[in-house]
Structure 1
Amino acid sequence: MSVILCTAGYDHTIRFWEALSGICSRTIPHPDSQVNRLCISPDKRYLAAAGHHTVKLYDIKSTNPAAVLTFEGHTGNITGLQFHCEGKWMVTSSEDGTVKIWDTRSGHIQRNYSHGVPVNDVVIHPNQGELISCDRGGNVRIWDLGENKCSHQLVPEEDKSVASVTVATDGSLLCAAVSNSVHGAVYVWRLITVRDVTSLVPVTKFRAHGTYITRVLLSPDVRHLATCSADHTARIWAVDLEGGSSQPSHNALDDPYRQGSDEPPQGFELEQELDGHQRWVWDCAFSADSAYLVTACSDHYARLWELQNERGREGKRSKTAHSFPNFGYWWLGRRSGVVSMRDHDRRTMGGKGFGRANERGAREQ
């Protein structure tokens, strides 16, 4: 079966693409609101679309465009979305200042956690027992589901919004994007779990962009970190903490949350800059084998990038995914294009004619 790419945005549609051909194979209307985030269930059967106030669940294989279930309970834009590893529950974050856990069978709310300020993102720790969320007030919080409480609260930089968080698939690293109009930084912590108790060790902070960072994402193999930005680019950083010292950098030891220093990042070398979009890059997703990245932008394009056949080389295909402009703002969690990848049987995305500088557009008819 082919690799399917899903995109959505402010034109109130969800679109399915044959990733290697650039052909739009299906369109689902989403009339109630724009779509802020997408997530495919672990069994690849369902697509969850987060919009204004609600999440709608769609059967991917069905030809019926109607949602099979609607999750209602938020009072603001939904900004984060992820499934439990077995699909038993789902977590969301919202501008209404809450993080909610939902029963995916009934659609009922199981847990409700309050930040008190708009929440920008939430992810599930691979141990499935903790949530990590971030907010507009500059906080990163870890929620212990067993104890049903917040176990850690971090403030990387005072009065700077934390736009996005990502956790390594092996649970070893946590990265957070902290930025404003003139500075986009990534903070990195090691996650150490002993007897079901997680502790965080600051590793490094580095300047990833010169303006807002909209998304930060670790690859499935934990060898790459992708950052998306208002500077019209996405950047790929090589993750190599084993190659250097296992101790935190002196900046982290002296004051892990201080502003300033742009010294070379420990363990994070700039590998590639994906330059081709014309406006803010809002979201990204890796393929299951970490060889490809898809990015979504306000320029109405989703672009699929072959990251590296060899150092410094990249191939790309671009698809005109959505043609309605984005009138939202990233710090409110509104994105012009969101992406999710359905990689059947974890196959790689290689294909003939998908080499260096091979770019094509597939416009809607």
Structure 2
Amino acid sequence: MQNAHGYEVVLVTGSYDHEIRFWEAWSGICSRTIARSGESGQVNRLAISPNKRYLAAAIHKKVNIYETLSNSSTPVLTFEGHTGNVTSVSFHREGKWVVTSSEDGTIRIWDLRSSHLYRSYDNGSPVNDVIIHPNQGELISCDQAGSIKQWDLSENVCTLELTPAGGTPIRSVTIASDGSYLVAGNNHGKVFVWKINAEASGLPRFQAIHRFTAHQKYLTRCLLSPNVKMLATCSADSTVKIWSVGAEFKLEKTLQGHQRWVWDAAFSADSAYLVTASSDHVARLWELSSGDTVRQYNGHHKAVVCIALNDVHLG
């Protein structure tokens, strides 16, 4: 994560206080607040476009798209159509479309250029998370019924389904940046790991290689680091745990400091830092080599439930 002398770091938090805040990563100063006064609905998830130009905010049943460099609190686009809480939002790598999942049981793809709904998948049960495969040709979702599904973007169908723990809801999914692993976490604090094999290998596409209990309480988010060497798990137990990735997922560090549920996390591009969001109203920046908090972001007056970071050098 570059400092003030480097390139721009975009760090954003969303809260049950309805506010969206932009932060100077190193000083901890809030540089901009989208107050959303007079607008109802809590902020559920945030995503920053790969080119850092846009922020997507999942707010109750809709998604607002804001310009990151503007001071305006008015969104430049709004995607409406979900009939339940929007639970996740992600940008396509080229920034042409956004994918959302919802408690209404659908996954939707929205065209950023026309602002129209491009495609909708019916999952059949509330969707808790959806991610875009690094190949940009598939989506992977997880849901309240305990399923993980792969959706083909070209054929508009579900091409694979995994149910690692019966009907226990799967809360979060994450895929390695090099497409090597898929990891999922469920409501009981358990983590499931699959190795992703090449189509031509003759092996199962998703080969279950490991499962372990990461937390004794509810798991809220699991996230693989950009360098695919670490897995972060966030929990209702107020901790974030850092696990080494490999044949065994070994606990490397427990990040302690938050006072309540930790809801969300994001790695820096170099995998050296992690930012986290918690019900204790605070976001934190952790240095992973030491496991210490190096910055705290204070200002929200209710739970901070989502966080987004883009510090990728755009050249």
Shorter chain as denominator, the TM-score bin is over 0.9
Alignment of 1:151-230 (within 5 A): 151-180=159-188, 184-194=189-199, 199-230=205-236
Partner of 1:112: 120
TM-score (norm 2): 0.93
Q: Secondary structure at 1:74's aligned position in 2? A: coil
Match of 2:104 among 96, 99, 114: 96
Does the CA contact (< 8 Å) of 2:286 and 2:295 recur in 1? yes
The CA distance in 2 between the partners of 1:195 and 1:57, in whole Å, is 40
Q: Does 1:340 align with 2:308?
A: yes
Structure 2 residue aligned with 1:131: 139
Residue 83 of structure 2 aligns to a residue in which SS?
strand
Is the 8 Å Cα contact of residues 193 and 209 (structure 2) preserved in structure 1?
yes
Contact 1:211–1:230 (Cα < 8 Å) also in 2 = yes
Shift of 1:315: 4.2
CA distance in structure 2 between the aligned counterparts of 1:15 and 1:276, rounded to whole angstroms: 21
Which of 276, 291, 310 is 2:272 aligned to? 291
Match in the other structure for 1:258: none
2:72 maps to a residue whose letter is N
**2: CA distance, partners of 1:344 / 1:204:** 31
When residues 118 and 321 of structure 1 are mapped into structure 2, their CA distance, relative to the original with a 3 A threshold, is farther
Match of 1:278 in 2: 259
Q: What corresponds to 2:4 in structure 1?
A: none
Matched, 1:29 2:35: yes
CA contact (8 A) 2:92 2:98 kept: yes
Structure 2 Cα separation of the partners of residues 94 and 9 of structure 1: 18
Evaluate the alpha carbon distance shift between residue 5 and residue 95 of structure 1 in structure 2; reply closer, same or farther with a 3 A threshold. same
Separation (CA, whole Å) in 2 of partners of 1:219 and 1:58: 26
C-alpha contact (below 8 Å) 1:78/1:95 kept by paired residues: yes
Are 1:319 and 2:297 an aligned pair? yes
The answer for the alignment partner of 1:330 in structure 2 is none
* Residues 7 and 321 in structure 1, CA contact (< 8 A), matched pair in contact too: no
CA RMSD of aligned residues (A): 1.7
What residue identity is the alignment partner of 2:279? S
Q: Does residue 1:300 correspond to 2:281, yes or no?
A: yes
Paired position in structure 2 for 1:7: 13
Instruction: From the superposition, tell whether residues 186 and 321 of structure 1 become closer, same or farther in structure 2 (CA, over 3 Å).
Output: farther
Tell me which amino acid in the other structure corresponds to 2:193. Answer: V
| 1:42-87 CA-partner distances (Å, limit 9, x unpaired) | 1110000001111000011112221000001101110011111001
What amino acid maps onto 1:185 in structure 2?
A: K
Percent sequence identity is: 56
Q: What displacement does 1:344 show? A: 5.1
User: Partner of 1:158: helix, strand, or coil?
Assistant: coil
Length, aligned pairs only? 306
- Displacement of 1:179 after TM fit? 2.6
Partner of 1:76, secondary structure, is: coil
For 1:126 and 1:342, locate their aligned partners in 2 and report how far apart those are by CA, in whole Å: 17
Verify the 8 A CA contact 1:302 1:321 in the aligned structure 2: no
Question: How far does residue 196 in structure 1 lie from its aligned partner after superposition?
Answer: 12
The CA deviation string for residues 137-185 of structure 1, in whole angstroms up to 9 with x for no partner, is 11100001122110111111122110000000011100000233xxx11
Q: Give the Cα–Cα distance (whole angstroms) in 2 for the partners of residues 87 and 54 of structure 1.
A: 19
Q: Which AA in structure 1 matches 2:137?
A: G
5+ long unaligned stretches in structure 1: 242-266, 326-335, 348-365
3-state SS of the aligned residue for 1:209? coil
2:175 partner letter = V
Over 3 Å counting, the alpha-carbon distance change for 1:271 and 1:102 in structure 2 is: same
Q: Would the aligned equivalents of 2:32 and 2:71 in 1 still touch at CA under 8 Å?
A: no
Please tell me whether the aligned partners of residues 288 and 346 of structure 1 are also in contact (alpha carbons under 8 angstroms). no
Q: CA deviation at 1:322?
A: 1.4
Does the CA-based 8 Å contact 1:156-1:178 persist in structure 2?
A: no
TM-score, with structure 1 as normaliser: 0.81
Matched, 1:59 2:27: no
